[in-house]
Amino acid sequence: KIDKWFPSSQICSRCGHKDGKKMLEIRDWTCPICQAYHDRDINASINILTEGLRIKVLV
């Protein structure tokens, strides 16, 4: 279980850059660092899985 405030849609799932808050109307974005194009929901799900696995390894 991850923290409910984990910024899953704000982090680039490719390079880890935290791009900051976005209005809910923004459904896709491009990382300014690695130029990866992200669908907001898919990117968030990848970040949630990655964070959950990271936490599991620590336990």
Domain interval for residue 36: 1-59
- The Cβ of residue 26 has, within 10 Å, a number of other Cβ atoms equal to 10
Mean pLDDT of 50-56: 95
For residue range 14-29, list pLDDT tens digits in order: 999 999 999 999 999 9
What residues contact residue 37 under an 8 Å CB cut-off, 6+ apart?
28, 29, 30
Contacts 24+ apart (CB under 8 A), 20-29: none
pTM of the model: 0.91
Mean pLDDT of 30-34: 98
Number of structural domains in the chain: 1
Q: Residue 1: its pLDDT value, please?
A: 87
Q: What are phi and psi of 13, to 5 degrees?
A: -75, -10
- The Cβ of residue 46 has, within 10 Å, a number of other Cβ atoms equal to 16
pLDDT at residue 40 greater than cutoff 90: yes
Q: Where are the alpha helices (DSSP H) in the chain?
A: 40-58
